[in-house]
Structure 1
Amino acid sequence: MKDERSASQIQFGFLPEQTVDAKGGVWKVAYWNDPPKEHAVDIKALRHELLRAVAPWTDAQRDSGFAGHLRASLPVELRRLNRDRGVTLKPFPAIWMCRRSGCRRLHRQKQGKCKCGATGGRAQLPFVGYHECGRIREPAVPYCKVHNQVSIHYPGTASARDIRFYCPECNVTLRHGLSNNIPCECGDGSMRYNVHRAASVYTPRSIVMVNPPTTHRIEQLTAAGGPARAVEWVLDGMQERSASEVGATSESLRQQLKASGLPDALIEQTVRQAVEAGALRGAPTALDIDQVQKEAAERDAVLMAMAAAESRITIGDLQSSVDALSEAGVRYHDYYPRALRDSGMESVELFDKFPVMVGHYGFTRGPTGPGESSLRPFRDRDGTYFVYGEVAETEAMLFRLSPLRVWRWLRDVGMVDDPEPGTARDARLLLLRSCQVPSWTTEGNDAGRALLQLVHSLSHRAIRIMAVHAGIERNALAELLVTPHLSFYIYAAAKGDFVLGGLQAVFESDLDTFLRAMVFDEHRCALDPGCERGGGACTACLHIGEPSCRFFNQHLSRATLFGPAGYLR
């Protein structure tokens, strides 16, 4: 059987071991046919992102050894869809039901003549058995010991436990439900049964990361001073077009000259002359913070540098592109800056070539919460781990919060008591030193948790409002948080019905209206007061689809934004 689906639908909905609907039946994805290896991906960054993503399962000791193998440098590859060969599906479960009313006999073949005389096509049973270890099986069907036949009766519900199996000849009830007491082969509990499309049967686990567009860009950043220079660029407010344009230091110049093969004596002479001429910048600021937090700050700064390497459009670019007295000029010079101030933003920027890698590294069966069931990473027979996805360029918008306003907000909620910083750079540096942002492996401190809740809540509110203003499906947008640097990205996910250009249209024509909506549009929840008592975040107000969220809809609160001391008050 052959069928056609879009590439994005296969990449997000036809993953190995997943059951799918196709051609009027139920199938299990056996494997992707000859998926080519994607070489344009930073494997080191991919390993780190995978370790971050699987941390909840690692902490619960349910990651199938994945994290340990990643740290031991076992091979991991990004595999993309072979658009010519597609994927291979197998019927699952291979149990079919006679469609004739009053018969409903179950068969092992899709075609054939039923005992009732019917010869038409048969309907496939849509239920499957699953276990948290990752196994899946067909339902165990009881047969009449006398007539060796069985029929099925649906009482009008989709619940597996309401099904009745009976003999169509003697009408004896053989069993109610699909039986949840059949032991799993793993020896740790029994199989459960549900409709094959249920999230408990299969939940894909995904990652998103900014992928360096080219090795040349990495080399440029390294020549400019590497991660330390990227942090300096962010602390300075990203004034240069990219981090690689930041002025050279004595050390970065020395490394450049060494790469050219010049002798050491000539290198030192050249560096000394450059220092005397005042052509070099000072050394990067020493970050007097915890090593884990320092590595996170440098990693996120490199992420921002790589994102800006290919394209970056600022509000300043919009202002310089039009006459200041024109209608667009008035909007860019007056309305946009005022909306930024009202929303507590330092800047909003557009990236029309956002280099993002989206992939799936495994799946879970059973409870869908992170770490609540066993993770089953995708792995080849030779031990190589696979991430099924793609590297693409898409649209994104970067939102950078005002560091001075963030500091004042943290002061007002009692999280910092330092003297007020004099400049935006001082505020960024002070917040970087004061806020230990939590992750799946570290708890952070009170200020860091408050900062994460603020950035994450703003990101979700922005996504929900952006979907309305851009006229697109909410699940077609996703977030990427850069909390240590008071920033977050909203980008067009490589799925859904997103129309390329939607974010650009908002940025160029409607940014002020969008920002005002973030501040002044309805912020109450339809489920209040229950939602407020439960933390002030639920599916009716702040939650988004989990594939779009970096923290599984945790670290969210409307009170952070709109409470008595809310950031948007």
Structure 2
Amino acid sequence: MNRSRSQAMTAFLPGAVFRHEQRLRGRVQAVDGDVVKKLNEDVIYDEISRYLERWSEDARAALPVPQGRLRQNFVLVSPDLVRFEVFPLVLECVRRSCRRVRTYAKAQQLAADPRCRTCSAPLRQLPYFNAHNCGRIRPMYVPKCRVPAHGYDHIVFENTGSFVTALWRCVGPGCGGAKLQGTSQSPCGCEWKDAAGRAMMRARTFNDTRAYQVHALQLVNIDNSEFRQYQRHPQRGRIAAAHYLNLIDSTAQGLGDAAQTVTVPRLSPQEWQQKEQQLRQINMGEEAIEQIRRMMGPEESGLAALPSTDADNARWELLGADRPFVERAAVFDPAQIQRITLDDQCARFAELQDRLAQQTTERAREQARTLGIAEIAVTWEFPVARVAFGYTREEHEPERGVLTGFHNKYHHDGKYPVYVAASDTEALLVTFSARSVLSFLDAKGLTAGVAEDESAARRRLLELFTDQDDPEAARAAATVHTVIHTLGHLLLRSLDDGQVGLAENTLAEWVVTKALTVAIYADNVREFTLGSLWTLLSNRVLSWLESTADSVLSCENDPLCHQSSPRCCERCVYLTFGCQLFNDDLDRGLAAEFLRHTAASSHT
């Protein structure tokens, strides 16, 4: 069957089970499609390798690390044609008075004889299966009656609504519905054991998402030589930090600065202050002091403006290992991707002398400040790629389950497929104020003091995010992540009001916590955009931000949600498909604290 790329990437990759529109259930065997060429393959395979190294070799099935020569055994595929088999082949009679279960070995047997042996009524699939951490799934185990004449002919499934209490019974003559066994667990027979040394499969329904989770990465896919050079550069973390701190305008400038050979060591601001005092004590003239400052004093821009102590160099290296933080510099580089900000719109309305639109936009900017937002922008060319390379069942963390690849020796010339959905789509780019975030942390006692300006606040937060040895810094960084991630969800959900033509399940997030940035993009994997987010920036920013502020305070599941910890649920914060962290690390209560503090600070 054919499925769109977005459908295939979310629900129809190999190993997934699904319900077909023709009232049958199946298991995906393989997914075919065109080989994708115009992608930054080096970045994709490097990131997959870094991800897979979290699993030991024994915890990966049909999925080697794509490094060195092994990389040629992988192929990037745009999913299109889904090949599946009927699953499970355990069916029951539709007649309530019968309900006898029948198991088939092959789908051809079912097609040849699709009726109940006892009453000749039609059969329907039992929508249940067994799954194990090793990656296997099997039809539910159907026990055999101990009466030789009964065998499997009179077995019925007593569905109580819970696998803990559901039973298999025999309704054959003389058995009278005798209990055979339960359904919650059955042995797998593999070598992958749990903490108790057992290998037990668990019964699951077809709608249970715990039995299958795709492992995928979201990448910014800028396919040009400058971006590739930047991502491979050993000083990419330093360049990204300099761009975030507004010390450089573009990644090209950063690459140029990194290529320069510094012949004269520069003094730090503190060292220059002492040097300047010494020069004044010997009555040196101002012009001469300024000349020395230009030669030896601290740089005010460029990479040289960043300190180069051992501790600082370690910090830039850590930032260079954070792919989203590195990508963010390219996304916010006007030479790479064009964006229009809310401030640009306000200036445009002023130039057009559209006073009503200008006043509305200015009110939107004020509302953004009360939400702790420093910049709102829109781009039509957000180059996002989602790459999927494997799946897990039951347990999804490294070493707790087996990460299984999509390899099928009969497809893709025997290579290991990595499924890709890439497009240049429209996106909202929201960056929060570092001063507001730092002030909030100070109010909670997680930091000491606030910053004089935005640049100083950003520097301080980068120090918190990269200080791995300080537990207090780790707490502060975790708090920031929860606040930014939660507000990103609320901003996304507030777009689903029927006004911009985008539903919540068609949107996705891209979060760069260290840069306090959230991108909300149209997850349509098409090569054109609707302009809906541009319409939002032009006409509806104020109502959108007001709706977001209101959504922090209440939930349809209150008071239950309000009393939960953390405060979040499917009615207020969770996203259907678009969360790259699977709705983890969210707290509407913490976000409400941040907004109350920011609103109070903006009026003082």
The TM-score with structure 1 as length reference comes to 0.79
Counterpart of 2:149?
A: 146
1:180 corresponds, among 177, 185, 197, to 185
Partner of 2:92: 97
Distance 1:114 1:71, change over 3 A: closer
Structure 1 spans left out of the alignment, 5+ residues? 255-274
Q: 1:519 to 1:82 in 2, by over 3 A?
A: closer
Contact 1:454–1:561 (CA<8 Å) still a contact in 2? yes
List per-residue Cα deviations over 1:198-217 (Å, max 9, x = no partner).
22322223321212243355
Give the Cα separation in 2 of the matches to 1:162 and 1:394: 48
Equivalent residues in 2 for 1:93-132 (5 A)? 93-105=88-100, 106-108=102-104, 109-110=109-110, 111-112=112-113, 114-116=116-118, 118=120, 121-132=122-133
Aligned length: 530
Aligned Cα root-mean-square deviation (Å) = 4.1
**d(CA) in 1 for partners of 2:312 and 2:582?**
26
- The structure having more radius of gyration, on CA atoms, is 2
Match of 1:20 among 7, 18, 21: 18
CA offset digits 1:312-335 (Å, max 9, x no partner): 122243235444431564146522
Write the deviation string for residues 400-450 of structure 1: whole angstroms up to 9, x where unpaired.
1122222222222223325x53332222223222333889xx996233223
Q: Does 1:285 align with 2:309?
A: no
Distance of aligned partners of 1:127 and 1:463 in 2 relative to their CA distance in 1, 3 Å threshold: same
**Aligned equivalent of 1:534:** 565
Measure the CA separation in 2 of the matches of 1:47 and 1:121: 49
Do the aligned partners of 1:158 and 1:195 also contact (CA within 8 Å) in 2? no
Letter in 2 for 1:398: L
Q: Which residue of 2 aligns with 1:466?
A: 495
CA separation of 1:148 and 1:11: change in aligned 2, threshold 3 A: same
Query: Which residue identity lines up with residue 45 of structure 1 in the other structure?
Result: V
**Alpha-carbon deviations, 1:371-407, whole Å to 9, x = none?**
6543324346699654322221222111111222222
For residue 133 of structure 1, what is the amino acid of its counterpart?
A: C
C-alpha contact (below 8 Å) 2:325/2:514 kept by paired residues: no
Q: What SS is found at the alignment partner of 1:542?
A: coil
The Cα of 1:146 is off from its aligned counterpart by 0.9
Assess, with a 3 A threshold, how the Cα gap between structure 1 residues 97 and 41 changes in structure 2: closer, same or farther.
same
Q: 1:51, 1:67 within 8 Å by CA — same for their partners in 2?
A: no
CA distance in 2, matches of 1:101, 1:529: 39
Partner of 1:305: 329
Distance 2:117 2:156 in 1: 17
Shift of 1:452: 1.8
Residues 97 and 408 (structure 1), Cα distance of their counterparts in 2 relative to 1, 3 Å cut? closer
Percent identity of equivalent pairs: 22
Over 3 Å counting, the alpha-carbon distance change for 1:248 and 1:137 in structure 2 is: closer
The one-letter code matched in structure 1 to 2:189 is C
Equivalent-residue separation in structure 1 for 2:44 and 2:452 (angstroms): 38
Report the counterpart of residue 43 of structure 2 in structure 1: 45
The letter for the 1-side match of 2:574 is H
Q: 2:209 is matched with which residue?
A: 199
For 2:325 and 2:185, the matched residues in 1 are separated by: 50
User: Unpaired segments of 5 or more residues in structure 2?
Assistant: 194-198, 262-293
Q: Distance in 2 between matches of 1:205 and 1:349?
A: 30
Contact 2:61/2:405 (8 A) holds in 1: no
The whole-number CA distance in structure 2 between the counterparts of 1:453 and 1:475 is 21
Question: Contact (CA 8 Å) 2:242, 2:302: kept in 1 or not?
Answer: no
Pairing 1:30–2:29 present = yes
Instruction: Report the counterpart of residue 283 of structure 2 in structure 1.
Output: none
Q: CA deviation at 1:231?
A: 2.9
CA contact (8 A) 2:364 2:541 kept: yes
Report the Cα distance in structure 2 between the residues aligned to 1:249 and 1:562, rounded to whole angstroms. 43
Secondary structure class of the residue paired with 2:340 = coil
- Show the counterpart of 1:265: none
Matched, 1:317 2:317: no
Partners of 1:221 and 1:328 in 2: CA distance: 44
Q: Tell me, yes or no, if structure 1 residue 553 matches structure 2 residue 583.
A: yes
Is 1:489 equivalent to 2:486 in the alignment? Answer: no
Q: CA distance change for structure 1 residues 291 and 114 in 2, over 3 Å: closer, same or farther?
A: same
**Residue in 1 aligned with 2:286?**
none
553, 557, 574: which one pairs with 1:543?
574
Greater mean deviation of Cα atoms: 516-525 or 503-512: 516-525
